[in-house]
Amino acid sequence: MHIPPYHKRPSWQRFLAGVAIGTIIGYLIFIYMFGELQEKWIEENLALRGDLQDLRQSYENLRKNHEALDQQTKQGLQVGEINIEFLNLEELNIDSDRIMIQQLEDAVRTEASHAIGKSVEEIINSIDLLISTIENKTINIDDFRFQAEVRRIIVTETVYLSIELKMAQS
């Protein structure tokens, strides 16, 4: 029995070359799609970890403040949330880096977390302390160092912070 030599025919050679090139292109597309999905997963994971950390911190602060308020029986509104807005992300060319933005928000939220659960009047009376706490912290992310400067702060049941970032001097 004789096996025909298909590998010598040009039509078979083109077919096999097409299969090889198609396999390589398919593998490259697979690697690209996998990388995109992995990046989205990492971003979502970081966001969820940040939310979990915020919730735990808020829970602890609220629990501590609730115990203090039970003893003092104060009246008035309490701060329950902190919203952060960065004003100059485009100038620093980090407006498309969602991971770095999330890490910046986490760092600023950590510095301002002591305000959660306190009364609005208490925060208004110590607003200079809140601003200096945020502005005196140098935020280190990867190889970048940022200095936060509070441009606007609104205190209601939610504290709204408008922050301008500057590159810190080494």
Q: What is the model's pTM?
A: 0.58
Which among 100, 63, 106 has a CA at the least distance from the CA of 84?
106
With beta carbons less than 8 A apart as the criterion, state whether 27 and 19 touch.
Answer: no
Higher pLDDT among residues 121 and 162, named by residue:
162
Q: What proportion of the chain, given as a percentage, has pLDDT over 70?
A: 92
User: 170: pLDDT confidence band, cut at 50, 70 and 90?
Assistant: low
pLDDT over threshold 60, residue 156? yes
Exposure string (b/e) for 146-156, b if CB count within 10 Å is 16 or more?
bebebeebebe
Which pair of tokens denotes residue 85? 């807005």
CA 157 to chain centre: 23
Q: Name the phi and psi angles at 4, rounded to 5.
A: -65, 140
Give the pLDDT mean for 19-24. 94
Tell the residue number behind the tokens 């396999």, with chain if given: 23
Q: Which of 21-35, 48-62, 66-80, 108-122 has the highest mean pLDDT?
A: 21-35
* Cα–Cα distance list, 79 to 18, 89, 110, 154, 159 (Å): 65, 27, 15, 11, 7
User: 118: pLDDT confidence band, cut at 50, 70 and 90?
Assistant: confident
